[in-house]
Amino acid sequence: MATSKIPHATAKRLPIYYRYLHFLSDAGKQRVSSTELADAVKVDSATIRRDFSYFGALGKRGYGYDVESLLAFFKKTLNQDKLTNVALVGVGNLGHALLNYNFHQSNNVRISAAFDVKEDITGTIQSSVPVYHMNDMKEQLSVQQIEIVILTVPSKVAQEVTNEVVEAGVKGILNFTPLRITVPDTVRVQNVDLTNELQTLIYFLDKFGKQDENKLG
């Protein structure tokens, strides 16, 4: 099957396409061209056509892509046709915000359990999500057959907690801690590093600034 050798770079763009198709569909648009898409998602039109072509001929020459059928195709490809249950580990500032964050809106994802050590919230329901004590994590993850975990614990305990969720059979971790956690290669980690993003922005900004100065000088 062709889908087994989708380039990483392509795979990362699929959700972006998917979301914009959703938007077009909601707006009642029937067809869309790669150029139009390119403008909206800021990806070169040739890249878009190339990305799509890995999945076969999804469009029609001289016409473009049919919004509904393309949307349906990506829905299936991105597993958006079935609900994915995930767990949130660490209900601090960021964790709380993610509980409220509407992953479910354009995304068929639900946070079905949260875990923390703080006695004042364990046993309660936060933003419609039950919060369990970390002691019960392994059991709950197994029972609920949760394969994906959002990690928002303090970095001090990040590796320790990671080991635990891996033992519980988790296969994917969305890692919000600044640490690069160690996992067996059957487990996939996606890092979201807020500080990094900001620092990178500052770094590039400064470079640009200097260039501008040169131009002026």
Partner DNA sequence: GAGTCTATGTTACAATAATAACAAGTTTAA
Partner DNA sequence: TTAAACTTGTTATTATTGTAACATAGACTC
Site map 26..45 versus its own copies, x via CB under 8 A:
--------------xxx---
Q: How far is the CB of 178 from DNA (least distance, A)?
A: 19
58 annotated as a binding-site residue:
no
90 annotated as a binding-site residue:
yes
95 annotated as a binding-site residue:
yes
Nearer to its own copies, 94 or 161 (CB): 94
Q: How far is the CB of 60 from its own copies (least distance, A)?
A: 25
Nearer to DNA, 64 or 172 (CB): 64
91 annotated as a binding-site residue:
yes
Question: Which window, 52-60, 117-125, 137-145, 171-179, contacts its own copies (CB under 8 A)?
Answer: 171-179
CA distance 137 to 113: 9
Q: Is 203 in the site for its own copies (CB under 8 A)?
A: yes
Q: Site for its own copies (CB under 8 A): which residue of 134, 147, 157, 163? A: 147
CA distance 24 to 67: 7
Q: Are 125 and 131 in contact (CB under 8 A)?
A: yes
Q: Which does 52 bind (CB under 5 to 8 A by kind): its own copies, DNA, none?
A: DNA
**What does the chain look like in DSSP terms, one character per residue?**
-GGGG--HHHHHHHHHHHHHHHHHHHTT--EE-HHHHHHHHT--HHHHHHHHHTT---SBTTTBEEHHHHHHHHHHHTTTTS-EEEEEE--SHHHHHHHHS-TTTTS-EEEEEEEES-TTTTTSEETTEEEEEGGGHHHHHHHTT--EEEE-S-HHHHHHHHHHHHHTT--EEEE-SSS-----TTSEEEE--HHHHHHHHHHHHHHHHHHHHHHH-
Q: Is 7 in the site for its own copies (CB under 8 A)?
A: no
Binding site for NAD(+): which residues?
Answer: 90-95
Give the interface with its own copies as residue ranges (CB under 8 A).
Answer: 3-4, 6, 11-12, 14-16, 18-19, 40-42, 77-80, 84, 86, 93-94, 96-98, 100-101, 103, 106-107, 109, 147-148, 150, 171-174, 178, 180, 182, 186, 188, 190, 192-212
Binding site: which residues?
Answer: 90-95
